Amino acid sequence: MCINVKKLTLAGLLVAVAVVGSTAYIPIGVSKCMPVMHMVNVLGAVLLGPWYAVGVAFVTSCIRLIAGTGTLLAFPGSMIGALLAGLMYKKFKNTISAFIGEIVGTGILGALLAYPVAALLLSKQAALFGFVLPFSISSVGGAAIASIVVIALKRTGALPVL
């Protein structure tokens, strides 16, 4: 097994950014929309790949849940968004594909999977498509910020460090 210390270190830094950034959120219904998490998902997908990005999302969601700054709804949204953003970037090698992957993964698929979590585990009343709009708004904002950061990193030549 090969452990890439640079990737592991960057993953830890992204977790820290996401956890600290989770203090700023937009409450919409029972969900807490966190654009910083979506930014970290796209950055993790582009810089680290799909599996590290999912790991960053999982660890961040765990820490936020333990710290009381997140809910169980963070797991399906962030992890699916990170995975799809990473897979899309790996396949198409452009930032737009990671951007779209994050929005579709979190805004649609993650939101639909958040429904059973809310209904069964959180005992919250929610419509099946009730999380799609807030999750999509949040993911568009965060993915747009990440896209700007990635484009800036590419232009300065700092992106291919890993």
Whether 41 and 82 have beta carbons less than 8 Å apart is answered as yes
pLDDT tens-digit series, residues 2-19: 778 999 999 999 999 999
Q: 129: exposed, middle or buried (C-beta count within 10 Å: 0-12, 13-18, 19+)? A: exposed
State yes or no: pLDDT of 161 exceeds 60.
Answer: no
Question: Could you tell me the two tokens for 10?
Answer: 């960057």
pLDDT tens-digit series, residues 74-106: 888 889 999 999 999 999 988 899 999 999 998
Q: What residues contact 84, with CB distance under 8 A and at least 6 apart?
A: 101, 102, 104, 105, 109
- How much is the pTM? 0.86
Whether 106 and 69 have beta carbons less than 8 Å apart is answered as no
Taking the C-alpha atoms of residue 114 and residue 2, their distance in angstroms, rounded to an integer, is 34
Q: What are phi and psi of 68, to 5 degrees?
A: 85, 10
For 29, the 3-state DSSP assignment is: coil
pLDDT tens-digit series, residues 104-157: 998 889 888 887 777 666 666 656 566 777 778 888 888 888 889 888 988 898
For 158, the 3-state DSSP assignment is: coil
pLDDT tens-digit series, residues 21-78: 988 777 776 566 778 888 999 999 999 999 999 999 999 999 998 998 877 878 888 8
Question: Could you tell me the two tokens for 129?
Answer: 């498509």
